[in-house]
Structure 1
Amino acid sequence: MLRSTLIRTAIAGVAVLGLAACGGGGDPLSGDDDAGGSPAPAEVKSITVGSADFSESQLLAEIFGQALAAKGVEVKQQQNIGNRETYMAAIKDGSVHLLPEYTGAALSYFKKDATETEDEAAYNALKAALPSGLEVLDKSPAADEDAIVVTKATADKYSLKSLGDLKAHSKEMVAGGSSEFKVREAGLKGLKDKYGVEFKEYKTLDAGGPLSAKALLDNQIQVSNFFTTQSLIKDNNLVMLEDPENILPPNNIVPLIRTDHKAANITDALNAVSAKLTTDSLTDLVKRIDVGKEAAKAVAADWLSKNQLS
């Protein structure tokens, strides 16, 4: 969900072309009589699984897809679609039918004014906020939370323990990370609105990837956004700043699926996966990809086998 070598490549433009080429059934989930509002079928024999443009999402898409394939479902993978705005468009228009998602982040996408800070509350609010034609299955105990981090040297220099502590020194500091972190509530917008924090400069780099890691460790930036399943944080002794105002939402892993592809054979297989997945195991799996350079497909197959899900 990122170790110093994490790759979260921004290829949304390429992905959009790929989605256009692959087609997909169903009308967009917009308007009153959309195809996405169709009832769930008795059985689904084929499904297209999508992922975002970072390694943890790709791993989860492989885990979901291989678990379904083990149950006899024909699975197509549409990997590296892009950021949330891009892959949400894909599931809405039917280019993909299933995506790994995160409860709090998805809730904020569908409900801009969401305030839920507890796991179960965020999950229930997400279910209520989804448009007709989209549903979530069981959430997993595994979670990948946003973390706003600094190096230990920076924390010591400015006596930083919480995000509020940044205010006194933020005008001297440069923040960096993804384009989304610059504008989202779980980022610079929330830091300004809830903590009064404004930085001297912002450098657009990548989403918890190698560019952000190098810039932070080289002190080219002093604050960035990483994720709690990233071994990068522990491996480099980074400090995750506390968030008493709760601008960072709970983010349990959850399958997001089109209703027209939600059948018992799909639901049962994916709920079994979600029940077995833990934050610690997810952290280890992603490290094997980002640090060990193993293929996501092989890492997913190994985990499924060890957990008797394939």
Structure 2
Amino acid sequence: MLRNTLIRTAIAGVAVLGLAACGGGGDPLSSGDGGTSPAPSEVKSITVGSADFSESQLLAEIYGQALAAKGVDVKYQQNIGNRETYMAAIKDGSVHLLPEYTGAALDYFKKGATETEDDAAYNALKAALPAGLEVLDKSPAADEDTIVVNKETAAKYNLKSLSDLKAHSKEMVAGGSSEFKVREAGLKGLKEKYGVEFKEYKTLDAGGPLSTKALQTNQIQLSNFFTTQSVIADNGWVQLEDPENILPPNNIVPLIRTDHNGANISDVLNKVSAKLTTEALTELVKRIDVGKEAAKAVATDWLSKNPLS
């Protein structure tokens, strides 16, 4: 899923720097001669990647189409996979630009991060990034992780907060993505901060059709969804409050390789971020997930209604 048409001609090289030196662990950025290349004044082509869910694919299309309208040659690597997979792609230069989320990305690069405010998480993320990666302006639009229970379970146990789970969790089956099972914003944090353990965990998907059906049919009683997903309200599911703040703030932010962050790129993407809102994003995602419209078409429509100049 990974191709790169510009790296060999656009950069002299990016420093080989292990993410562990920046608090995050993981593989170092791919490099040429070991030097860190400055941002070019203008970028003529770029490869945009996305994660394996519809909102990320939508944002990648919005970024790419906005850049293409300004004369940038844009290629896509959509549906790369989970965070670990697409981070490997941007580190090795196979993709140059990704839509990301401030708190989730911060947790990737700085394990155990405790920032709970939007600006604090954004600033901490900027400080935690390895040489060769940058984030541009964060958007006011946010898509937070949320832990939900179906309405039958909420009523049965009178659940309003994650702290209410402890007395009943061993009678419950949780489900969702493989990441939710092991991350701080998931079962790990629930156990450490709330003392919650479940009878069983079913590995399904990240707020997708498998988790939706399982929660609807009570095969699971709790899962991780995202606040821009209309399926939560449509099914009357209850979003549990998080007084211990295991769920980070997640403003949308472009993550980009420094060697592909020209002034022409950042100018366009910062304008996109400024115009995105949580409400608009929720509606756009619903058009894809419920209305079955293509992400490309939905992105084109949004851009036509939100000119950047």
TM-score higher than 0.5: yes
Equivalences for 1:178-197 in 2 at 5 Å?
178-197=177-196
Q: CA RMSD in A?
A: 1.6
The residue that corresponds to 1:98 in the other structure is 97
Percentage identity across paired residues of the two chains? 83
The residue that corresponds to 1:204 in the other structure is 203
Aligned pairs, how many? 292
1-structure distance, mates of 2:113, 2:98 = 21
Q: Which runs of 4+ in 1 moved over 2 A?
A: 21-37
The residue that corresponds to 1:173 in the other structure is 172
* Contact persistence 1:167–1:198 (CA under 8 A): yes
1-structure distance, mates of 2:15, 2:75 = 21
1-structure distance, mates of 2:184, 2:42 = 39
For normalisation by structure 2, the TM-score amounts to 0.91
The residue that corresponds to 1:242 in the other structure is 241
Equivalences for 1:121-270 in 2 at 5 Å?
121-270=120-269
Shift of 1:309: 3.1
Aligned AA (1:273): V
Mark the runs of 5 or more structure 1 residues left unpaired by the alignment. 1-17
Is 1:31 matched with 2:31?
no
Which of structures 1 and 2 has the larger relative contact order (alpha carbons within 8 angstroms, sep 6+)?
1
Structure 1 residues 24 and 199: CA distance shift in structure 2, 3 A: farther
What is the CA deviation profile of residues 249-272 of structure 1, one whole-angstrom value per residue up to 9, with x for unaligned ones?
Answer: 000000000000111100000000
Question: What is the SS of the residue equivalent to 1:43?
Answer: coil
Question: What is the SS of the residue equivalent to 1:197?
Answer: coil
2-structure distance, mates of 1:187, 1:29 = 34
1-structure distance, mates of 2:173, 2:15 = 40
What is the CA deviation profile of residues 70-118 of structure 1, one whole-angstrom value per residue up to 9, with x for unaligned ones?
Answer: 1110000110110000000000000000000000000000000200000
2-structure distance, mates of 1:309, 1:86 = 31
Mark the runs of 5 or more structure 2 residues left unpaired by the alignment. 19-28
Shift of 1:151: 1.2
Aligned AA (1:48): T
Structure 1 residues 156 and 197: CA distance shift in structure 2, 3 A: same
Shift of 1:25: 3.0
What is the CA deviation profile of residues 146-178 of structure 1, one whole-angstrom value per residue up to 9, with x for unaligned ones?
Answer: 000001211111011100100000010000000
* Contact persistence 2:6–2:46 (CA under 8 A): no
Shift of 1:24: 7.0
1-structure distance, mates of 2:202, 2:16 = 35
1-structure distance, mates of 2:95, 2:15 = 13
